[in-house]
Amino acid sequence: SQTIHQWPATLVQPVGSPLSLECTVEGTSNPNLYWYRQAAGRGLQLLFYSVGIGQISSEVPQNLSASRPQDRQFILSSKKLLLSDSGFYLCACNRDSREKLFFGSGTQLSVL
Amino acid sequence: AQKVTQAQTEISVVEKEDVTLDCVYETRDTTYYLFWYKQPPSGELVFLIRRNSFDEQNEISGRYSWNFQKSTSSFNFTITASQVVDSAVYFCALAHVNSGGGADGLTFGKGTHLIIQP
């Protein structure tokens, strides 16, 4: 079965600093990859999804970006973090986009 | 546009009570998938169930059961004889199935925080 590695587990960054969260997947090839954010008191929000290398779709306009340099690697980035970027970020994948999602353990990002 | 509403922000019950978590969704799609996920304090999301919009049969898995009512756009989740380990945030989600047969990612509700008191 698929395993998702996501790091770091927690991150504290100052406003205006860059961000790079990495997610790698094992146990499958050519997965669909997703980045979700859970802000405090809110549900899960889909940020980006990717169906293949270099193919990124954005669901919500923001100062975040995503890249997929390799088949099983998905990176979430920002050039300058905002306070509103604080939240819990989850990487997820599945082999078929209609199938259940497998989630990573998440990154708790605090922007101060 | 899709929308998933979990009106219950927090539910607190005593152990062994039955509890139902509500989920109401909105979609213009005729074909879609519905999911329930559990998020324990550790933060990871645990898949519980996926339901195809064509299948309105209720499902039971141990102490868990799901009631899918397409007529009311609801997909409620019931835990029977609740246990302290059931304490978590539960998310209902909806997947849009596009013209190519794939889905564009899940739309989640805001979650229901379930507290089971001993």
pLDDT at B102 over 60: no
pLDDT at B35: 87
B95 interface with A at CB cutoff 8 Å: yes
pLDDT at A97: 60
A80 vs B44, more confident: A80
Interval B76-86 mean pLDDT: 97
CA distance A26 to chain B (A): 17
Contact between chains at B102 and A43 (C-beta distance less than 8 A):
no
pLDDT at B103 over 90: no
pLDDT at B10 over 90: yes
Tokens of residue B35, six digits: 């999911």
pLDDT at A13 over 60: yes
pLDDT at B47: 78
Strand ordering across the sheet containing A3-7: A3-7, A19-26, A73-78, A64-70
- Contacts of residue A103, defined as CB under 8 A and 6 or more positions apart, other chains included, come to A4, A90, A91, A92, B44, B45
CA distance B39 to chain A (A): 10
The residues pairing with B114 across neighbouring beta strands, listed in sequence order, are B11, B88
Q: Confidence band (pLDDT; 50, 70, 90) for B97?
A: low
Instruction: Judge if the upstream peptide bond of residue A8 is cis by omega within 30 degrees of 0.
Output: yes
All residues of chain B having their beta carbon less than 8 Å from the beta carbon of residue A59 are: 105
CA A65 – CA A75 distance, rounded (Å): 8
Tokens of residue B81, six digits: 């004889």
Contact between chains at B50 and A97 (C-beta distance less than 8 A):
no
B8-31: burial string, b at 16+ Cβ within 10 Å, e else: beebebeeeeebebbbbbebeeee
pLDDT digits (tens, 9 = 90+) for B26-52: 998 888 888 898 988 776 778 788 888
Contact between chains at A101 and B47 (C-beta distance less than 8 A):
yes
How many of the other CB atoms lie within 10 Å of CB of B117?
11
The residues pairing with B20 across neighbouring beta strands, listed in sequence order, are B78
CA distance B72 to chain A (A): 22
All residues of chain A having their beta carbon less than 8 Å from the beta carbon of residue B45 are: 44, 90, 92, 101, 103
Contact B34, B57 (CB under 8 A): no
pLDDT at A98: 61
Average pLDDT, chain B: 87
pLDDT at B104: 55
Contact between chains at B103 and A59 (C-beta distance less than 8 A):
no
Q: Confidence band (pLDDT; 50, 70, 90) for B99?
A: low
Q: Confidence band (pLDDT; 50, 70, 90) for B101?
A: low
B101 interface with A at CB cutoff 8 Å: yes
